[in-house]
Amino acid sequence: MKTVYDFTVKDRKGNEVSLSDYAGKVLLIVNTATGCGFTPHYDPLEAMYKEFKDQGFEILDFPCNQFANQAPGTDDEIHEFCTLKFKTEFPQFAKIDVNGETADPLFAYLATEKPFTSFGKGLTAAGLKKFADMNNKAFGGKAYIKWNFTKFLVDREGNVVSRFEPTVDMKEVREAVAAIL
């Protein structure tokens, strides 16, 4: 049975990193963007990381520029923005694609394990759905991720247990992480 530990990704310097290096830890894998309306999620993500990292928790940050070009810049520029503005300390990897023919295999796997269901209810969800649908038409059946700051919770055995769209309250994400730890 495949798990996230079967994947290799690139760090922001281009070095290959096996996710098996994170075996035994609870992971929150996130596709991010520095110019998105959800970029403030970095604050509660960093707070969660500081609170839980000593309990075997890691956040793996994958910048992506496929959603309205909201992650421009090089890997180093993105990293500098995140560390200076949000004081992030969790691992940040190389910028990737999460949709289409060039989608990183990790994100195709994550989305297959926990497919998109909805953005939820409310004005933000309705507005985001309309915008995401327009943006993701180009990816057709390979629009695995609907928007920036989609989060996947992975247990200590490498199994994907939950998917959180960017419209989910970060308190709910924190509660899910705390429960699995």
Q: Half-sphere exposure (CA, 13 Å, Cβ side) for 151? A: 24
Per-residue b or e along 47-83, where b marks 16 or more CB atoms closer than 10 Å to that residue's CB:
ebbeebeeeebbbbbbbbbbbeebbeeebeebbebbe
pLDDT value, residue 67: 93
Indicate which residues carry an active-site annotation: 36
Number of other CB atoms surrounding residue 40 within 10 Å: 13
Report the alpha-carbon distance of residue 89 to residue 83 in Å, rounded. Answer: 7
pLDDT value, residue 22: 98
**Would you give per-residue pLDDT tens digits along the chain (181 residues)?**
899 999 999 999 999 999 999 999 999 999 999 999 899 999 999 999 999 999 999 999 999 999 988 998 999 999 999 999 999 999 999 999 999 999 999 999 999 999 999 999 988 889 889 888 988 888 988 999 999 999 999 999 999 999 999 999 999 999 999 999 9
CA–CA distances in Å: residue 31 to residues 1, 55, 59, 91: 24, 23, 11, 12
The helix or strand, by DSSP H or E, that contains position 130, with its residue range, turns out to be: helix 123-136
Residue 142 DSSP one-character state = G
pLDDT value, residue 93: 97
Residue 81 DSSP one-character state = H
pLDDT value, residue 127: 87
pLDDT value, residue 131: 84
CATH 2.40.30.10 is held by the domain 4-180: no
Full-model pTM: 0.95
Domain-by-domain residue ranges, the chain? Answer: 4-180
